[in-house]
Chains A and B, each alone.
Chain A
Amino acid sequence: MSDPAIRIENLTRDFGEVRAVDGLSLEVPAGSIFGFLGPNASGKTTTINLLLGLLEPTAGRAEVLGFDTAAQADEIRARTGALLEHDGLYEQMSAQDNLEFYGRIWRMPAAERTERIRDLLARMGVWDRREERVAKWSRGMKQKLALARALLHRPPLVFLDEPTAGLDVVSAAALRDDLAELASREGVTVFLTTHNMAEAEKLCSRVAVIRRGKLLAVGHPDQLRAQTGAPQVEVVGSGFNEKVIDLLRARPEVSSAEVHNGHLLIHLSKDVDTAPLVNLLVNAGVSVEEVRRGKASLEEVFLTLVDEER
């Protein structure tokens, strides 16, 4: 098995009295898209700054691509790309000049630089507008350009700090598609912070959930669902009245029951056979058209974890 791209051991960072990152320990496998999930002010951006060596840890240590973040931060920054909280684009310069600047920073030879800029801008569908000042671009296009900049020098690892924040649904989906395509084509490890669970579910092969700087869970989204997310049953039909809901709630295997958008949602406390519950519904006069078993979404897992911590 290859070495992890990131190895974090008991990493801690205080800002005065506030502990932004609290004893964080985890590993990010090389070549994966790793989702780092947490609510606002949970320590996601601070963790990225620590991993890039932009901040010094109060305690603990981390290795990125085998380099120590405290002692070899220059080596880390030389081998990674980043799209941070803000896109970091020079708005009065053209898109091409923005990439040209970073291409020069990464010491890419002129011919390779030109070819790579053309390739990335063409793939993202903005090549025709390369000479426009970035200030004229939409937020979605700017984020695409910032993503292209992060990947320009073909780094083995990129840090993306909420890349789709503030984008409309269509732009966010387009950016996600570009990211997934580029990450798989170039075999890059992606450390992605987000509080968009659907995004994490779609892109990430592994996720970690943090709150107030503490790691709450880490694993494949399915693993987290299995560990944390309670099974649920969705019933399509009619006749869901208060009496039926009360009957369900009285059952020991049912943790909650509610009517949502005309459908009956039954959350189970454990994985049990649903046939007795369906019988109960039919006997209570419910007309059942369809019964679907499902697992909790990553969002529900996230909320459960965050609620437990609270």
Chain B
Amino acid sequence: MLGDILTVMWKDRKGLFRQRGSRTRALLTMFVPVAMVAIYFPWQMGRDWVDTYWSLIACIIVPMLLVGITIPDAIAGERERHTLPTLLASRLSDRAILFGKLALAIGYGWIATLVVLLLALVTLHIAHWEGQFMFYTPSIILVDVLFSLLMATLVASLGVLFSLRAGTVQEAQQTLMAVVMFPPLVLGVLLTFLIGQVSGIRETISNIVQSVGSTQLVLIVAAFLLLNCLLLLRAAMSGFRRSRLTLL
């Protein structure tokens, strides 16, 4: 099974930047905001970038963008290019195909995030050199590594679900992006509205965060993400059925 997963990853890696059209353009376009995360935020934050949880921004944005662009191609791309029936007629198991595609997208998003975190350190040292080497605290780097992996897995699992059902890559991409962007957008608008309308809400939120503690809060969010990842992976596994995919 592991060998089969690696084989699927080998093929998908070969095709990652070779597809002509929207995906390559989108991937290249994504490098601009990703580069901004590696330059703008550490430049603005200064030392806080490595001493507080600000670097989580990179761990949310980078996997969301990069995995969000690549994973819709996993099944919908194979279907669009008429390569899916031949792949399904091969000896590969359903899980090998699914996990191979997920693993490449997750690995790509995760490693890219870690690279961005390292590049951000370079920016920080250039912009705010204090005469000594600066690095993320152990708890922050641990949370960053965990968070970026969970975000990449969450977006990949969600994306593969849409990719299984979508007729085209574009359709899968649009649906995924809408679903991924919608909850944070609503939450942001809601919070802004509440802070403007309800007096003392900012202090209440701040008190809650302080009483829970930032580490505990991060762990709660991480547990929430993990639970969602597991549920989505399960849904993707049960959604990947040869007979269903052959009929679509």
Contacts and interface: CB of A to CB of B under 8 A. Distances in A.
Interface of A: 15, 49, 52-56, 73-74, 77-78, 80, 82-93, 97, 101-102, 104-107, 146, 149, 159
Contacts of B20: 92
A54 B88 contact: yes
B7 A101 contact: yes
10 contacts: A54-B242, A55-B246, A55-B247, A56-B243, A86-B82, A88-B86, A90-B81, A92-B19, A92-B20, A101-B14
A88 B83 contact: yes
Interface in B232-248: 242-243, 246-247
Interface of B: 3-4, 7, 10-11, 14-15, 18-20, 81-83, 85-93, 242-243, 246-247
B87 A88 contact: yes
Given A54-B242, A74-B91, A106-B91, A93 B85 contact: no
Contacts of B89: 52, 54, 77, 80, 82, 84, 159
B48 to A, nearest CB: 44
Given A77-B90, A89-B83, A104 B10 contact: yes
B10 A88 contact: no
B91 A54 contact: no
Given A91-B81, A105-B92, A49 B15 contact: no
Nearest to B245: A54
Contact of B90 (A56, A92, A102): A102
Contacts of B83: 86, 88-90
A54 B92 contact: no
A146 B73 CA distance: 22
B243 A86 contact: no
B203 to A, nearest CB: 56
B247 A84 contact: no
A62 to B, nearest CB: 15
A162 to B, nearest CB: 13
A90 B15 contact: yes
A90 B11 CA distance: 9
B9 to A, nearest CB: 11
Interface of B is mostly: helix
Given A101-B11, A106-B90, 7 more contacts: A15-B247, A77-B89, A78-B91, A84-B86, A85-B85, A93-B14, A101-B10
A73 B91 CA distance: 9
A132 to B, nearest CB: 13
Given A55-B243, A56-B243, A77 B86 contact: no
Nearest to B242: A54
Nearest to A45: B85
A53 B90 CA distance: 11
Nearest to B19: A92
Nearest to A53: B242
A105 B243 contact: no
Nearest to B16: A92
Which of B11, B19, B86, B247 gathers the greatest number of chain A CB atoms within 10 Å?
B86
A78 B3 CA distance: 15
Contact of B7 (A54, A80, A105, A149): A105
A87 B246 CA distance: 16
Contacts of A91: 81
A77 to B, nearest CB: 5
Contact of B85 (A56, A73, A74, A88): A88
B246 A54 contact: yes
Contacts of A102: 90
Given A86-B85, A91-B81, A107 B3 contact: yes
Which of B85, B88, B93, B247 gathers the greatest number of chain A CB atoms within 10 Å?
B85
Contacts of B93: 74
Nearest to A77: B91
A153 B247 CA distance: 27
B27 to A, nearest CB: 14
A104 B14 CA distance: 14
A245 B93 CA distance: 65
